[in-house]
């Protein structure tokens, strides 16, 4: 009972690779068919797209200014914004170092509250910068 060593003892992987390549091609062809697309209706933009944004600057002494205008205490922000928000589509809040984060958040809330009072959707963006 002798074992012959005439054949190779290694496994032939060529058929396995062929099958894997065929499966890969099948999956590559089927995947675009399986992907489902959903149409999305984007709402129309409200407001004048050419309107300049309003820049609200918060300073470290807790004062604010609108579009490089005169400084005023932050508590007077809502009455001053009420007349200007109907004309703009975006408000950028620019704050320097030293302004407490709570004041920045309350300013964003004030802008959004005044915008809701005047029935106007306004985009609010925050930019933090050094002095």
Say which CATH class 54-128 falls into. alpha beta
pLDDT band at 4 (very low <50, low <70, confident <90, very high): low
What is the tens place of the pLDDT at every residue in 21-70?
999 999 999 888 877 777 777 666 665 566 678 888 988 888 888 888 88
Tell me the pTM: 0.57
What is the tens place of the pLDDT at every residue in 66-122?
888 889 888 888 888 888 887 787 888 888 888 888 888 888 888 888 888 776 677
Q: What are the residue ranges spanned by the domains of the chain?
A: 54-128
Q: What is the DSSP letter of 80?
A: H
Question: CB-hemisphere CA count at 13 Å for 131?
Answer: 6
Q: Give yes or no for a contact between 125 and 51, defined as CB atoms under 8 angstroms apart.
A: no
């Amino acid at each position: 009972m002798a074992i012959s060593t005439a054949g190779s003892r290694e496994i032939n992987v060529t058929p396995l690779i062929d099958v894997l390549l065929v499966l890969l091609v099948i999956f590559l062809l089927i995947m675009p068919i399986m992907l489902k697309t959903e149409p999305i209706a984007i709402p129309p933009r409200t407001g004048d797209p050419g309107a300049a944004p309003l820049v609200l600057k918060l300073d470290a002494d807790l004062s604010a200014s609108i579009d490089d205008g005169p400084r005023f205490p932050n508590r007077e922000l809502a009455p001053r914004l009420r007349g200007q928000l109907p004309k703009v589509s975006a408000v950028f809040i620019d704050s320097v170092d030293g302004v407490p984060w709570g004041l920045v958040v309350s300013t964003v809330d004030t802008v959004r509250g005044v915008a809701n009072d005047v029935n106007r959707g306004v985009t609010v963006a925050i930019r933090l910068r050094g002095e």
